[in-house]
Structure 1
Amino acid sequence: MKIFLGFVIWSVLSNGIHVEGSAEIDVMLKRLNKPAVKTIYSEDGDIIDCVDIYKQLAFDHPALKNHTIQEKPSVKLNSDQPGSLKPNSSKTIIPQIWRKAGKCPEGTVPIRRVRLEEITSASNVSQFGRKAPYYNRHLDIARQKSLLGDAFKSSNLQEKSEAFLLAVGYNYIGSQSHINVWNPKVESGDFSSGQIWMQNGPGDAFESVEAGWVVNRGVFGDSRTRFFAYWTKDGYKSTGCFNILCAGFVHTSKKIALGAPIEPISSGDNQYDIAISLFKDPNSGNWWLHFGDEIVGYWPGSLFSYLGHSAIVVKWGGGVYSSNVRKSPHTTTQMGSGYWASGLWTNSAFHTNIRIQDYSLQIKYPDNLAEYADEYNCYSTKLYRDNYKAEPFFYFGGPGKNPGCP
């Protein structure tokens, strides 16, 4: 009898039949996991569904009802990679482990399958795959607007601590960098990223496109470092999400899956990085995401208002997102490698090959950069070069809770 009962329980769980009250989750899983033409079981445990490119989740968005897929950018987006890119040997990585087990057929795109346990482990099911909103004062400063009142700035919406290199202008239509890959220790309910942001709009309802690496158990169900993208139209309030956990991003690559693990991880002299590029097509207005030399897909220009013209702020750095930042005791979630930025090469997380593009279509090192950290005693920054001819490196990160960040 006990054996039979155990078999029944196992059968119920494995076949997706859930306990009472899970109707919302069932609907969510059905909406996120579109029917697969082919399914690939990766040795790292991920399941990759090869979905018809015209039946992906993006087209559930009302603004994309009659959208025609743009197969590639209308102009070639050349990256600027100087010969003196790295002070020591560092390898740029692209391949994803799932590809060892198979390939997606023509006309399909690889979509990482969302599992029941990933949604149920989230602290807030209705907010699954989304960041908490916050006020972005750098955008209001860039737009020469007065800051909002102290009541808003001190609200509990400020659940983030970022450390970044900041470029402010009016016609940014592209950015890129190489980010070395780490696996920071992250507390339950928190997440930590190394990324690029491109933003425009008012500080309380900004628009943003973002990409890089992240450790986020609340979305992916584990502590692995994964490739991610993100977008929002209203400061994370009600639009946008990680990867393709909501309608919006149009996936075009059949080689790269958003949310797949990144390996290997940097350690000491063995440094590994990913090349990330975000570019707006000057003809279609779509915002394209590149992962190395691979074009992953795009956010349609119709999703945005302010970013429909350009970004006015570009940030390179990292972020820790937790309800226990700006508090005591502070979260122990690490940013970057967990080392301070002063640790430099072999110890600290970095961005290098930092470039922007404006409407001149030239890719160049940005002028008038500024370093910023929300909590300097918890996470730090350092823009550094070995000599005046060397390629600059922007180091960032830190341990979180420490004697100076109690």
Structure 2
Amino acid sequence: MEFVIFSRDAMRMLLLGFIFVLGADAGHILRLSEEEDLALERQIQAINKPAIRSFKTSYGATIDCVNIYKQLAFDHPLLKNHTIQMKPEHVPEGDMRKTRRMASLYLGGQRCPKGTVPIVRATKEDLLMAKYIPRHPGSHMETEYSPNSDDIPGQHSAMFEFRRPTRGAKASISNWNPAVSSEQFSLAKISVVAASGADLNNVQAGWMSYDSLYPDSTRLFIYWTADGYQKTGCYNLLCPGFIQVSSTLPIGSPVQSSQYGGAQTFTDLTIIQDTNKGDWWLGVNGEQVGYWPRSLFTSLVPNANAVAWGGQVFSPFKRPTPAMGSGHPPSEGLGKAASMTHLRASLPFSSTMFVDPENYDSFFVDAPECYDATSDKNHENGRYVLYGGPAGCTAS
């Protein structure tokens, strides 16, 4: 089945017109030409697979329970004969531990039938606004590998980096719901990267506040590329590639926000390579959600070159950017600034354990007048990073 791909310039012009027409109503009403609408409709039909059962969630999404063997991932030509792995064969000890944050809560008590996986039904708004997300992770390690990073004005990052060969990483990420306009996003993530330029491979996961797609709600997201953000990869499950195996936790699930100076909520995230198969697995709150198969990648096949933990924001047209994390700087400390605690990395030569990244850490903060990142360690939280800052950054 053919996927319709817009050029970057064509999509940008389409989106600018889309946002100009819709303004604050972006994501609810589409005003496209007949040709543009038909192109989007063909993409939607290719993405949304027939459902065994469908239901609405309390947060407004439609969940399709899709046969696990007929999900979109298998439309990828490299996965036509792929055998699904229901769990990794070998990963470092402790990375998929169960937590008190139960994955089943994401479906609000609903269940998909056995043999199916819950997929958030894609919409035209999803396709339009997902393509508006700048296709670059924004970390220093990726900036020096990717010459296109300077083409994204208005994007800023505050990241803690582990610049060593690794098979993955983990952290408990504090959840926040920073206010954003229809043209902005604010996110927190773990990013795993290898190689450079057109050979750059990257997988990332975290939470994203993106009002055009998710009004008043922060959601779990993933992103990947195998060619430096040129033609491969996508946001969430809008293209073939990531294979979902969890029957209880869909990509795009909401996360409950922490309270400034009060109750803190966390999402435990793991991106780790199966040392036997070479696949890259995503773990969320102890749940094995799914994986990016080894066959998708080139430079990520043996291992990654580096990992980054932290936050990122974007606002177009060099307009002031939104808040990052809690909207408060790291100097305010745990419980007030956004945090990622229990940072761990897995080394290729020590595949049975995670290590503290403190001996190899560095930072990338590209707008220090607006955002910052710091790191520390204590008994309760292990190695942790604090990051973020208020809205209104106008750095170029």
TM range (shorter): 0.7 to 0.9
Q: How does 1:229-268 map to 2 (within 5 A)?
A: 229-268=222-261
Alpha-carbon distance in structure 2 between the residues aligned to 1:290 and 1:135 = 23
Contact (CA 8 Å) 1:350, 1:396: kept in 2 or not? yes
Alpha-carbon distance in structure 2 between the residues aligned to 1:265 and 1:40 = 28
Q: How does 1:370-385 map to 2 (within 5 A)?
A: 370-385=362-377
1:192 to 179, 186, 195: 186
Q: Deviations over 1:158-213 (max 9, x none)?
A: 5521111011112x002000000000111322211111000011146521110111
Q: Deviations over 1:331-351 (max 9, x none)?
A: 231111111111112211011
Contact (CA 8 Å) 2:95, 2:270: kept in 1 or not? no
| Structure 1 residue 25: Cα displacement | 1.4
Alpha-carbon distance in structure 1 between the residues aligned to 2:369 and 2:159 = 14
Q: Work out whether 1:131 is the aligned partner of 2:134.
A: yes
Amino acid at match of 2:363: E
Alpha-carbon distance in structure 2 between the residues aligned to 1:73 and 1:386 = 31
1:315 to 282, 286, 308: 308
Alpha-carbon distance in structure 2 between the residues aligned to 1:269 and 1:176 = 24
TM (norm. structure 1) is: 0.81
Q: Work out whether 1:351 is the aligned partner of 2:365.
A: no
Alpha-carbon distance in structure 1 between the residues aligned to 2:143 and 2:231 = 20
Q: Deviations over 1:22-62 (max 9, x none)?
A: 11111111112111001121122111100001110001111
Decide whether aligned partners of structure 1 residues 167 and 214 sit closer, same or farther in structure 2, where only a CA change above 3 A counts: same
Q: Deviations over 1:259-292 (max 9, x none)?
A: 1111254442200101000111111110000001
Alpha-carbon distance in structure 2 between the residues aligned to 1:81 and 1:73 = 10
Contact (CA 8 Å) 1:178, 1:354: kept in 2 or not? yes
Alpha-carbon distance in structure 2 between the residues aligned to 1:222 and 1:390 = 32
What is the match of residue 165 of structure 1? 160
Amino acid at match of 1:379: Y
Alpha-carbon distance in structure 2 between the residues aligned to 1:153 and 1:255 = 36
Contact (CA 8 Å) 2:191, 2:309: kept in 1 or not? yes
What is the match of residue 280 of structure 2? 287
| Structure 1 residue 134: Cα displacement | 7.6
Decide whether aligned partners of structure 1 residues 386 and 70 sit closer, same or farther in structure 2, where only a CA change above 3 A counts: closer
Contact (CA 8 Å) 2:375, 2:383: kept in 1 or not? yes
| Structure 1 residue 380: Cα displacement | 0.8
Kindly report the root-mean-square deviation, in angstroms, between the aligned alpha carbons of the 2 structures.
2.9
| Structure 1 residue 101: Cα displacement | 4.3
Decide whether aligned partners of structure 1 residues 213 and 139 sit closer, same or farther in structure 2, where only a CA change above 3 A counts: closer
Name the larger-Rg structure.
Answer: 1
Q: Work out whether 1:72 is the aligned partner of 2:87.
A: yes
Decide whether aligned partners of structure 1 residues 260 and 137 sit closer, same or farther in structure 2, where only a CA change above 3 A counts: closer
SS of the equivalent of 1:268 reads coil
Amino acid at match of 2:141: H
What is the match of residue 104 of structure 1? 112
SS of the equivalent of 1:229 reads strand
| Structure 1 residue 137: Cα displacement | 5.3
2:392 to 367, 379, 401: 401
Decide whether aligned partners of structure 1 residues 81 and 46 sit closer, same or farther in structure 2, where only a CA change above 3 A counts: closer
2:123 to 115, 120, 133: 115
SS of the equivalent of 1:217 reads coil
Contact (CA 8 Å) 2:176, 2:256: kept in 1 or not? no
Amino acid at match of 2:247: K
Q: Alignment length, in residue pairs?
A: 362
Decide whether aligned partners of structure 1 residues 137 and 386 sit closer, same or farther in structure 2, where only a CA change above 3 A counts: closer
| Structure 1 residue 19: Cα displacement | 7.2
**Where in structure 1 do 4 or more consecutive aligned residues deviate above 6 Å?**
none
Contact (CA 8 Å) 1:134, 1:157: kept in 2 or not? no
What is the match of residue 331 of structure 1? 320
Alpha-carbon distance in structure 2 between the residues aligned to 1:206 and 1:174 = 16
Q: Deviations over 1:329-384 (max 9, x none)?
A: x4231111111111112211011100011121121111221122111111111113
SS of the equivalent of 1:222 reads coil
Contact (CA 8 Å) 1:174, 1:278: kept in 2 or not? yes
The share of aligned pairs that are identical, in percent, is 33
For structure 1, the residue ranges without an aligned partner over 5 or more in a row are: 1-13, 83-90
Alpha-carbon distance in structure 2 between the residues aligned to 1:382 and 1:98 = 32
2:360 to 350, 353, 368: 368
| Structure 1 residue 228: Cα displacement | 1.0
Decide whether aligned partners of structure 1 residues 332 and 96 sit closer, same or farther in structure 2, where only a CA change above 3 A counts: farther
For structure 2, the residue ranges without an aligned partner over 5 or more in a row are: 1-27
Decide whether aligned partners of structure 1 residues 297 and 244 sit closer, same or farther in structure 2, where only a CA change above 3 A counts: same
Alpha-carbon distance in structure 1 between the residues aligned to 2:227 and 2:190 = 18
